[in-house]
Homo-oligomer: A and B are copies of this chain.
């Protein structure tokens, strides 16, 4: 349809998640009209990304080194590990400033519907770390979804016999929220998890 080099960019962009053919066309034409240096910088940054960034050998976080900055930080408590579904979840938890242990990226959550079983997640690697690093507590910070809850429960059953405390992030009302707008499941969990003041 378009000139081959242009069509190629459109096709490659359209393979990205959430980018349809129309958006890919719009982006490709945008790249044709910006400063050439800007377009080249985008292209190079994508190529460099894969050359420079890989996954931490310990926790599977994103890193430019053998191990990620968090695993290499000696001030972090190695006895407590926060298990997340995806590497990008780490940044969200780090931003709270409330956690000073290490992480473990599972690579997803259990899902019978999508056919995701424990051996497709990094569960074996987590179990190996329990002994190696003397982990005492695992915080299951998987998403508060059916899949995330099931994964947390699975981890609890698997790790408790190893003498590890498995905890779960609290579910409840979002801070600044409004009771009126809370769904009944969230409100139910907020009630069940109520604390004495």
Interface residues of A (CB under 8 A from B): 1-6, 8-9, 12-13, 15-19, 23, 25-32, 36, 38-50, 52-53, 62-64, 68-69, 86-88, 91
What is the CB-to-nearest-CB distance from A183 to chain B, in angstroms, rounded to a whole number? 23
* Residues on the B chain within 8 Å of A48, using CB: 5, 8
A50-B46 in contact (CB<8A): no
Chain multiplicity (copies) = 2
B17-A62 in contact (CB<8A): no
* Residues on the B chain within 8 Å of A23, using CB: 18
B26-A18 in contact (CB<8A): yes
B62-A50 in contact (CB<8A): no
B91-A1 in contact (CB<8A): yes
Choice from B29, B44, B62, B86 contacting A43 with Cβ under 8 Å: B44
- Cα–Cα distance between A68 and B2 once the two chains are bound (Å): 11
- Cα–Cα distance between A15 and B166 once the two chains are bound (Å): 41
- Cα–Cα distance between A72 and B114 once the two chains are bound (Å): 52
- Cα–Cα distance between A44 and B8 once the two chains are bound (Å): 10
* Residues on the B chain within 8 Å of A69, using CB: 3
A63-B3, A64-B5 known; A49-B31 Cβ under 8 A: yes
